[in-house]
Chains A and B, each alone.
Chain A
Amino acid sequence: MLYDISLRIDYSYAAPVMHARNLLRLLPNDIAGEQTVLSRQLTVDPLPSERRDFPDFFDNTTSCVAWHQPIQSFSLSLALRAERQPPPGQFDLSPPLRALPSEIAAARDLSPAAPHHFTAASRRGPVLPEFTDFARARLRPGMTVLEAVQAIGGALHAEMQFAAGATDVDTPAQDAFAARHGVCQDFSHIMIGCLRGVGIPAGYVSGFLRTYPPPGRPRLAGADAMHAWVRAWAGAEMGWIEYDPTNDQPAGADYVTIGHGRDYDDVAPVRGIVRGIVRGAGGRSTAQSVDVAVVP
């Protein structure tokens, strides 16, 4: 499937900011067997005084931008053409859940895809008794890792209400879970906490999801949003599997990945500083539009 994706985000500050500096994680990369990026361009306006793109620890392309003169607003535009390969049929090659710890321990590896990075609680992906209890109740003796991931993800989807606007980008996962509602970011963080709690390495994926208009209605350009889902390590042979708890499905041909991390903090599209204080997005996002179009 070939996609043309565009994104535009506008930010503004309450007052002009000296030496604004932001880290942007918006540029997708090729992923072997999964996606090929044919073209990508990220435009920042006003033109930053400095900009450098580099791969971060998890190999996400990170753009460091800074302005030496005061600015009060800026905008980001991404134009992307990417091909998403259809996923192979998913045979369950994962080990029984109880065998996973020894497979993790046997991985003598600290590369970005090593499971070790994703076992412990992280700031936005905490391991908490309420998550672990919820996950444990969905396990059956002898379950494989893949079965466990699907059972926990499915149960979460059934339990949680999708509610746009009920939470914001800084809402802790446990608060969204207590209220049993949230958006894709909350669903993903909760599922990550659940999986880690039962010993399954789990991480956060940011990207785009193709949306389908209601039957008989035309597709609305720009009405999409950025999306997030979960990946879990299903043993040495099967490796990473991706699952979308918001939509209760494996992340397949409808998904285009921007970045991988332990949680949202590792892949936040914009991270910035105002006067030494971190704001989730270096200011206030005033407008955001995303369009995911299939190239015929």
Chain B
Amino acid sequence: MGQQARPAGDHPMLTDYRPAPGVADEMLGPGGRMRPVWRPFLDWLGSMPPEQLRGRFDRGDRYLRDAGVYFRHYTSDPLQERDWPLSHIPVVLHEDEWQTICRGLSQRADLLERVMADIYGRNRLVADGHLPAGLIAGNPQWLRPLVGVQPRGGHFLHFLAFEIGRSPDGSWLVLGDRAQAPSGAGFALENRIASRRIFPEPYPRDFTHRLTGFFEAFRGALQGLAGRAEGTARRFGILTPGPANDAYYEHTYIARFLGMLLLEGEDMLVENGEVLVRTIDGPLPLGVLWRRIDAGFADPLELDPGSIIGTPGLVDAVRTGGVAMVNALGSGILETRALMAFLPRICEQLTGQELSLPNIATWWCGGAAERAHVRENAGRMMIGPALATELPFELDAGTVLGGSFRGGGPASVADWVEDQGPRLVGQEAVTLSTTPSWVDGPDGGRLRPCPMVVRVFAARTPQGWTFMQGGYARIGPEGDATALAMQRGGKVADVWIMSDAAAHATPPSPPVLGPRSPAGQSALPARAADNLFWLGRYVERFEGAVRLIRAHHLRLAATGNPDDPRLWLLTQYLGALEFDLGQPVPEALAERLTGARDSAAKVRDRFSTDGWLALGDLMRTVRGMRETVQPGDDAAAAMGVLLRKTAGFSGIVHENMYRTHGWRFLSIGRALERADGLCALLSAFAVPDAPEGSFEIALEVADAVTTHRARFALETGFDTVVDLLALDADNPRSVHFQIAHLARLVEALPHARRGGRPAELLRAILPLRTRLEIAGPQDVTVDALAGIRGALGTISDRLSAAYLG
């Protein structure tokens, strides 16, 4: 579009958009002139009335909510989730400027690779005086067991992120290198999908570089790195610390998006230097781990002995070249703040060239001259721990900013610097650029200048480093352009890399990424199977309890007499299950659901977002009911609501889930639990000497009142109830039906038979099925029911032994 820059003051949306003096702005270039790349976007934006804009923003937010995008807050409740804080206005950069940035970062990525190879190799940088030995030897991120270990595939670094900001003079500056396990790439994709919902039109869509090509290239690189074992492609997986991690959502998202296995440390074992994934089909060799856990936790045997999320022997597998790590274990040392003081000179030494994209000016206080400089300029510096790996804007209380301690500390900064010397590093206090962010107001809202930093992702491919084309910026609150502002409740924005023409109209690649590795998702880790199995059990258990509690309150409402024998029987029965009926919605009911959610949280990559949201809705509903619901009718109605919501969850999962082994384990859990629940119900309420009305309770809890009436047009009796709830082959709420279902599910599992003969698990199910098939009502005694429950326990044990261990 290439218009001449012209003054921006006349723009309707910018009547009070005034960047602070001495601060660069993304939209307004030197002299307050709008940068050409922003002009068409702003003109287009300005043509929309505020209500329309609001509607668009809501569309983006709704997408994020519906997709279940969240990040985690570290609070007392480890599972508390927070909505993704999208700032709706993207940061817009011209592709020419972006290419310059990427060239600079490519140079930097190569430099980091060489520094890494040296630090874990010959240590020439130390011997030649370019790096102080103490900075390496005293660094907790320098992992001695990895020294001298050559990475499989020849490279240490495969996936990097850089935090960059624009200085007041308009040039770009690297604020931090992320080499340990950079996060945000998956969130960038979600940013993009949301911003597409907000601005779906051909302009700006087709003028903006796409993100997916980056992922496709990286996925191809990982596949190449994984290699083959005995003729078949080896698996690759993403290694997550688990659901309590703040970026767990992203790990599940990437696993799903790229068709990778989502793995935790316990999913793997090491044999003869090979990493094997424990799956329900036996151990499968793994070629690459994209690790999202800090290296120290990866192997308790050779690294942090306190880690409970690691895999014993993983370091040994790396040492013998059995697995490639993305990035190599030990790469966290590249994030050391003090390293920034030495990188510019190292670059010149190793390559003969200057860093084309400078990093934030840094002085390590181990040298007398540097110490003096930091002391004298303390007013314009951030001074903090030399070995810290946090980004400059993630400062802690022990840091000096602008000449004074943030948390209050020793009186004299100069003495402190002199005393602590090599432990400290001084960094120039940066002023960030600002970018337009929408701030709601009584007049509909307007654009305001807010500070920002951009995160750039780089991936190694056989053709060299490739860069994600935008996608991720952090936006701070208005009014403070120091780097510090980013710490306080920031937001995240998409970054658009724009061309002058509609050059990106057709996707460079199919919207769905190329062929998935044939064995990628089909391999089901044993732990995932275990969680799906328990999810099935917990939800069924919850549903059974809801039905029982409803039966209780219906009778309470009908009789008004707490001493009614049927009521007494229900109270006894529920009491044995630890439900306190003094509470209309017992605490234990909410706990049953927590078990389901905890299991579901660990397999979010394997069932639909809608299912997850339905479960969350169910939990919120139960919590809400606990505060308002009254005993009797009210509680019975509330249980009805819960039943319908549970059915909603089950419907979403069972109707829409592809019939994978994962679905089978979920269904096996449900069938086992339902059969067991029915046996328990029958032995309490369907016994010949039960109080009057007990049979009706059994039918009602088993949701079989109507069927019973239709099938047996006569009075309810022991024979008819037992026939319907224990022996009927067509009633989904009969024991026989569930056992037959179980047998079919298990038959479809790998190794259910060996050489045509049923294996152990099936051998426990088939006799039970036959017994139920040939039994008559008189055979269904309390003892027989206890026998069936015992057999179900055996089935559960054998299932665990065969698949889930």
Q: Which residues on A are within 8 Å of B, measured CB to CB?
A: 18-19, 21, 23, 49-50, 52, 54, 56-58, 64, 66, 68, 104-105, 107-110, 114, 116-117, 119-120, 265, 271-273, 276-278
Contacts and interface: CB of A to CB of B under 8 A. Distances in A.
A228 B366 CA distance: 34
B312 to A, nearest CB: 4
A8 B383 CA distance: 53
A104 B302 CA distance: 28
A199 B266 CA distance: 41
Contacts of A52: 316, 320
Nearest to B367: A105
A105 B126 CA distance: 11
Contacts of B269: 19
Given A114-B137, A117-B137, A119-B138, A50 B312 contact: no
B302 A23 contact: yes
18 contacts: A21-B301, A21-B312, A23-B301, A52-B320, A56-B144, A66-B313, A68-B271, A104-B134, A108-B126, A108-B128, A108-B133, A116-B133, A116-B136, A120-B138, A273-B300, A276-B300, A277-B300, A277-B308
A277 B309 CA distance: 9
Given A23-B301, A116-B134, 6 more contacts: A57-B148, A105-B132, A109-B123, A109-B127, A119-B134, A276-B310
B306 interface: yes
Nearest to A120: B138
Contact of B145 (A21, A49, A57, A105): A57
Size range of the interface on B?
Answer: 35 or more
Interface in B288-311: 300-302, 305-306, 308, 310
A21 B270 contact: yes
B306 A278 contact: yes
A110 B136 contact: yes
Interface in B249-273: 265-266, 269-272
Contacts of A120: 137-138
Count chain B CB atoms within 10 A of each CB in A108, A119, A271 and give the residue with the most.
A108
B801 to A, nearest CB: 12
A271 B302 CA distance: 9
B793 to A, nearest CB: 20
B300 A278 contact: yes
A109 B128 CA distance: 10
Interface in B356-372: 366
B134 A105 contact: yes
Contact of A276 (B132, B144, B145, B308): B308
A294 B312 CA distance: 39
A108 B300 contact: no
Contacts of B138: 116, 119-120
Contacts of A54: 319
Contacts of A57: 144-145, 147-148
B129 A108 contact: yes
Q: Across the A-B interface, give the 4 residue pairs with the lowest CB-CB distance, nearest first.
A: A116-B137, A57-B144, A273-B312, A278-B305
A106 to B, nearest CB: 10
B316 A64 contact: yes
A49 B270 CA distance: 12
Contacts of A109: 123, 126-127, 133
B133 A276 contact: no
B142 to A, nearest CB: 9
Nearest to B272: A50
A56 to B, nearest CB: 7
A3 to B, nearest CB: 30
B279 to A, nearest CB: 16
A50 to B, nearest CB: 5
Interface in B229-281: 265-266, 269-272
A107 B312 contact: no
A277 B312 CA distance: 9
Contacts, number: 80
A107 B271 contact: no
Interface in B135-167: 136-138, 144-145, 147-148
Contacts of B123: 109-110
Nearest to B147: A57
A66 B272 CA distance: 9
A197 to B, nearest CB: 15
A30 B272 CA distance: 29
A281 to B, nearest CB: 12
A282 to B, nearest CB: 9
B271 A66 contact: yes
A145 B805 CA distance: 56
Given A23-B301, A116-B134, A120-B138, A110 B126 contact: yes
B126 A265 contact: no
B805 to A, nearest CB: 8
A251 B791 CA distance: 66
Nearest to B133: A116
A104 B306 CA distance: 31
B266 to A, nearest CB: 6
Count chain A CB atoms within 10 A of each CB in B123, B144, B310 and give the residue with the most.
B144
Contacts of B134: 104-105, 116, 119
Contacts of A107: 133
B203 to A, nearest CB: 54
A18 B801 CA distance: 13
A56 B300 contact: no
Nearest to A278: B305
Contacts of B310: 276
Contacts of B301: 21, 23, 271-273, 278
Nearest to A201: B137
A59 B551 CA distance: 72
A276 B305 CA distance: 10
B277 to A, nearest CB: 14
A193 to B, nearest CB: 16
A265 B805 CA distance: 31
B324 to A, nearest CB: 20
A68 B270 CA distance: 10
A127 to B, nearest CB: 12
A196 B310 CA distance: 31
Contact of B133 (A110, A272, A278): A110
Contacts of B308: 276-277
B365 to A, nearest CB: 13
Nearest to A117: B137
A36 to B, nearest CB: 25
Interface in B98-149: 123, 126-129, 132-134, 136-138, 144-145, 147-148
Contacts of B136: 110, 116
Nearest to B316: A64
Contact of B271 (A23, A50, A110, A278): A50
A57 B145 CA distance: 6
Count chain A CB atoms within 10 A of each CB in B134, B320, B366 and give the residue with the most.
B134
A38 B531 CA distance: 55
Nearest to A277: B308
Nearest to B422: A105
B270 A56 contact: no
A209 B568 CA distance: 75
Count chain A CB atoms within 10 A of each CB in B136, B270, B312, B805 and give the residue with the most.
B312
Contacts of B270: 21, 66
A26 to B, nearest CB: 16
B346 to A, nearest CB: 15
Contacts of A265: 305
Interface string B194-209: 0000000000000000
A38 to B, nearest CB: 28
Nearest to A68: B271
A52 B315 CA distance: 13
Contacts of B319: 54
A110 B138 CA distance: 11
A52 B273 CA distance: 10
A56 B145 CA distance: 7
Contacts of B320: 52
A265 B305 CA distance: 9
A54 B805 CA distance: 31
Nearest to A123: B305
